[in-house]
Amino acid sequence: MSRPVNTELTILYRGPLASCDYDCPYCPFAKRRDTGEQLRGDRAALERFTAWAAAQTGDRLSVLFTPWGEGLVRSWYRRALVEMSLLPHVGRVAIQTNLSGRTGWLAEADRDKVALWCTYHPGQTPYERFLARCRELTALGVRHSVGIVGLDEHLEEARRLRSALPPEVYLWVNAAEGHTYTDEQADRWTALDPLFPYSRHPHRSAGLPCRTGESVVSVDGDGAVRRCHFVRAELGNLYDGSYRDALGPRGCPLDVCDCHIGYVHLETLPLYDVFAGGVLERIPADPVRMPPGPAPAPACTPPPAGPARASAPDGPVSPGPSRRPLPFVSR
């Protein structure tokens, strides 16, 4: 008999996979070719995780796979998304992908639950091929967002893609790593993605309340649980259950947060409302529009030199009235 529901938990899973079929010059990840042994290790780690998730019938889970490399060219990631989408206690399962692989396998998944966070990389794949993959997702009825890195040389391709995608498909733009945008440059990207101002600047986060470590955690291939991908301190291990006692409200221990999969969970930002029902797959509530109130930029001045960790301890903070977990999607 299943135990009562006691946790609504969002998990960002990142196993040891590090190889990719692309070699984007602006990407700091996936710069190695995994050996057969490394691939077998990644497969075993993912299968262990999916078996654990299947057994957590007393919890409500949402999962985003955020591999360093490209997961969907590996059969075990495709199988994991299908199998997890069919679990009644999993509300959403999504993955970040370059969409280079086939899509027909998604017909086997619960398409009310499975979702893809897709990134277009000009120069790595023909435009028409990527657009055809997007159209396949639309035909299959698979929830997906599509995005691009905001480099000047990508602007015309981004405009072309926006005009070709259905209006209901959100096109997001990530600020390029280490890139500073003039107002004129930012305006061009904001015309394509009204939410680009959230990505343009890092967000001050030191000591601020964040859902990570409470209702959102990061898990690696060994089962180590951390509050997010960017804080190295461990909360415990997934497989022995030691992480559960460590879950609770915390202030962020870092000076700034500059990645969407991190700052989307900051309670000082309205992004759980902006992306209501689509936080994991980066799909905002329709229509895409800026929420009322002051614009988010500038969110932060450049952080001071030195370690990223601020003086604020990674300790409990008092929950505020806005605290709530990622909404569980029940179909």
Choice between 171 and 37, residue whose per-residue pLDDT is larger: 171
Q: Cα(259)–Cα(122) distance, rounded to whole angstroms?
A: 21
- pLDDT attached to residue 36: 78
Which stretch of 28-42, 147-161, 173-187 has the lowest confidence by average pLDDT? 28-42
In contact, 80 and 51? CB cutoff 8 Å: no
Q: Cα(17)–Cα(147) distance, rounded to whole angstroms?
A: 22
Q: Are strands 224-226 and 234-237 parallel, antiparallel or unpaired?
A: antiparallel
Residue 171: pLDDT over 90: yes
- Picking from 196, 124, 126, 198, the residue whose alpha carbon sits closest to that of residue 134 is 126
- pLDDT attached to residue 314: 38
Rounded to a whole number of angstroms, the distance between the first and last alpha carbons of the chain is 23
- Picking from 131, 104, 119, 150, the residue whose alpha carbon sits closest to that of residue 22 is 119
Q: If phi over 0 gives left and psi between -120 and 50 gives alpha, with beta otherwise, what is residue 272?
A: alpha
Per-residue pLDDT of 67-108, as tens digits, reads 988 889 999 999 999 999 999 999 999 999 989 889 999 999
Q: How many CA atoms lie within 13 A of 107 on its CB side?
A: 7
The domain limits of the chain are 7-274
The arithmetic mean of pLDDT across residues 295-313, rounded, is 40
Q: Cα(137)–Cα(130) distance, rounded to whole angstroms?
A: 11
Per-residue pLDDT of 120-143, as tens digits, reads 988 768 899 999 999 999 999 999
Collapse the DSSP code of 134 into the 3-class scheme (helix H, G, I; strand E, B; otherwise coil) and give the result: helix
* Residue labelled with tokens 């019938």: 57
Q: Give residue 70's identity as a one-letter amino acid code.
A: E
Give the model's confidence band at 31: pLDDT under 50 very low, under 70 low, under 90 confident, else very high. low
Could you tell me where the DSSP H helices lie in 141-195? 155-164, 183-192
Average pLDDT, the chain: 84
96 burial (CB, 10 Å; 0-12 / 13-18 / 19+) is buried
Residue 35, C-beta contacts closer than 8 angstroms, at least 6 positions apart: none
Q: Cα(88)–Cα(189) distance, rounded to whole angstroms?
A: 39
CATH of domain 7-274: 3.20.20
* Residue labelled with tokens 């009310």: 112
Residue 5: pLDDT over 70: no
Distances (CA, A) of 183 to 186, 257, 289: 5, 21, 19
Percent of the chain with pLDDT over 90: 71
Residue 287, C-beta contacts closer than 8 angstroms, at least 6 positions apart: none
Q: Give residue 226's identity as a one-letter amino acid code.
A: R
- pLDDT attached to residue 39: 84
Residue 129, C-beta contacts closer than 8 angstroms, at least 6 positions apart: none
Q: Cα(266)–Cα(228) distance, rounded to whole angstroms?
A: 12
Give the model's confidence band at 23: pLDDT under 50 very low, under 70 low, under 90 confident, else very high. low
Q: Cα(308)–Cα(278) distance, rounded to whole angstroms?
A: 29
- pLDDT attached to residue 311: 31
Q: How crowded is residue 97: how many other Cβ atoms within 10 Å of its Cβ?
A: 22
Q: Cα(205)–Cα(222) distance, rounded to whole angstroms?
A: 28
Distances (CA, A) of 125 to 6, 101, 131, 158, 167: 44, 11, 10, 14, 23
- pLDDT attached to residue 288: 66
Residue 322: pLDDT over 50: no
Q: Cα(307)–Cα(324) distance, rounded to whole angstroms?
A: 31
Per-residue pLDDT of 57-68, as tens digits, reads 999 999 999 998
From the centroid of its chain, how far is CA 249? Answer: 20
* Residue labelled with tokens 């498909």: 169
